Amino acid sequence: MLELMERDYCTMDDFDLEGKTVLLRAEFNSPLGPEGEILDDKRIRESVPTIKELEDAKVVLLAHQGRPGKKDFTTMERHARQLQRYVKQDVRYVDDIFGSHARSAIAGLEPGQVLMLENVRFYSEELLGLSPEAASRTIMVRKLAPLAQAFINDAFGAAHRSQCSLVGFTPVLPSGAGRLMQKEIDSLTEALKGGGEVVYVLGGAKVDDSIGVAKHVLEKGIASKVLVTGVVASVFLAASGIDIGGPNMDFLDKSGAMGELPLAKGILQKFGDKVVMPHDLAVNKDGKRLEISVRQLPTSFAISDIGHETIASFSDIVRHAERVILKGPAGVFEDPEFSAGTKEMLTAASNAKFSVVCGGHSAVLVDRLGLEDKFTHVSTGGGAAIDFLSGKPMPAIDALKAAKKRMMELISVRPH
């Protein structure tokens, strides 16, 4: 045991893992094609620094893909092959989680070897949402924990879940965060700090997520300004009393976003001076971009992007901010006619001193635009990042914090 760092959870710096058997919970859940091929392996790539740092340990990987009943619910065999390409060391896959086959493979590991166990969601108790104490008593934990000397959680993308493989090992093994988990927590914690000009740019179609983030960062005095784009902007415009037109109200109704109108009204009543709405919009007129002022609403055409005046003013606000957190596209970015707002907001955010992007679509676009290296952090966790920024409980992170607290209590009572 090395000197414990100042964080309220342990990291890999707090343990000597050389030669040890380490249970590593990774987040490899990836979009799959019709033949089961991995379409985007970003989450696998992001786990590589942690695995490479464990090159002198015996690494046992726990991960999931999809959920029961879904088309992408499958084995981890392809993930193991994909990982092997990046770590340049043998990654063995076993189609077992905690049975005799898996336990025998773990017992036979040598330092420097990596073993990928089967999809942990093939085990029914994984999805029960148990507390760490209850999860520690499940068969999976009771079978695997005695074979390891440490548990490292690098699965930030699932950190908002309370599942066996995420929280069950923390009560029974020395537990810490992997490098990706550590980077996510550090960057998103920084995003939630006040002081200076802190700008949140909230867009996309998942309005409830954005409303939750806006409410939290405004009530806590974290955000100086919240710029709204995409469907989020439509909700706030409607909440402010502006008639956005029948087709756009119908879209809000069909997408379930109408239920967010009362919350948006409440935010505007309390923090109207900090919520910045678009001045102009781009609507879809027979497949072509038509820009209109907000004063020209209502419209019979679908709102599909923010307008160029708004792009210019929002970009200026973002460029001069101390910290920028961006979630979700500004419009129907898949259509080149309506991609300008999203591209320009991402480009502006990438030039800020501190910038974080979260949300699956935004992260994909950052990669496509070649801007990843310009951002301080591009989060791998969609729902997890949103929950973190909304101030919601993060069971897997809380479990790591509780594990460190127990460890510190043990150290304090140990006889000298």
Whether 304 and 242 share a structural domain: yes
What residues pair up with 199 in beta bridges, in sequence order?
A: 225, 324
Evaluate whether residue 1 is within a structural domain.
no
What are 369-396's pLDDT values in tens digits? 889 899 999 998 888 999 999 999 999 9
Residue with tokens 């991609």: 339
Quote helix, strand, coil % in the chain, to nearest 5. 45, 15, 40
Whether 161 and 271 share a structural domain: no
Evaluate whether residue 4 is within a structural domain.
no
Evaluate whether residue 2 is within a structural domain.
no
Question: Which pLDDT does position 411 carry in this prediction?
Answer: 74
Q: Token pair for residue 139?
A: 């068969």
| φ, ψ at 284 (rounded to 5°) | -95, 105
Q: Is 160 annotated as a binding residue?
A: no
User: Where do the DSSP E strands lie in 154-277?
Assistant: 175-177, 198-202, 225-228, 275-276
Q: Is 137 annotated as a binding residue?
A: no
Evaluate whether residue 7 is within a structural domain.
no
Exposure class string for 61-71: b at 16+ Cβ within 10 A, else e:
bbbbbeeeeee
Whether 375 and 400 share a structural domain: no
Domain span at residue 368 reads: 193-389
Q: Domain containing 232 — which CATH number?
A: 3.40.50.1260
Q: Token pair for residue 362?
A: 């935004």
Whether 281 and 329 share a structural domain: yes
Question: Which pLDDT does position 414 carry in this prediction?
Answer: 52
Q: Is 361 annotated as a binding residue?
A: yes
Residue 279: half-sphere exposure toward Cβ, Cα within 13 Å: 7
Structural domain count of the chain = 2
DSSP 209: H
pTM score, whole prediction:
0.90
What are 340-363's pLDDT values in tens digits? 999 999 999 998 989 999 876 787
Whether 59 and 147 share a structural domain: yes
Whether 258 and 349 share a structural domain: yes
Whether 30 and 125 share a structural domain: yes
Whether 353 and 240 share a structural domain: yes
Question: Which pLDDT does position 3 carry in this prediction?
Answer: 42
* Spacing of C-alpha 226 from chain mean position: 20
Q: Is 194 annotated as a binding residue?
A: no
DSSP 72: T
What residues pair up with 327 in beta bridges, in sequence order?
A: 202, 358
Q: Is 178 annotated as a binding residue?
A: no
Mutual orientation of helices 207-219 and 382-389 as an angle, nearest 10°?
30
What are 255-265's pLDDT values in tens digits? 999 999 999 99
Question: Which pLDDT does position 415 carry in this prediction?
Answer: 52
Q: Is 161 annotated as a binding residue?
A: yes
Q: Is 64 annotated as a binding residue?
A: yes
Residue with tokens 């109207």: 272
Whether 235 and 133 share a structural domain: no
CA distances from 95 to 72, 99, 174 (A): 17, 10, 27
What are 229-247's pLDDT values in tens digits? 999 999 999 999 999 999 9
Helix (H) or strand (E) run with residue 231 in it: helix 230-239
Q: Token pair for residue 211?
A: 């409303």
Query: In this structure, are residues 5 and 342 in contact, taking their beta carbons and an 8 Å threshold?
Result: no
Q: Is 25 annotated as a binding residue?
A: no
Whole-angstrom distance, CA of residue 314 vs CA of residue 228: 10
Whole-angstrom distance, CA of residue 380 vs CA of residue 386: 11
| φ, ψ at 246 (rounded to 5°) | -55, -50
Show the low-confidence residues of the chain (pLDDT under 70).
1-5, 360, 412-416
Whole-angstrom distance, CA of residue 129 vs CA of residue 140: 14
Evaluate whether residue 129 is within a structural domain.
yes
Question: Which pLDDT does position 188 carry in this prediction?
Answer: 94
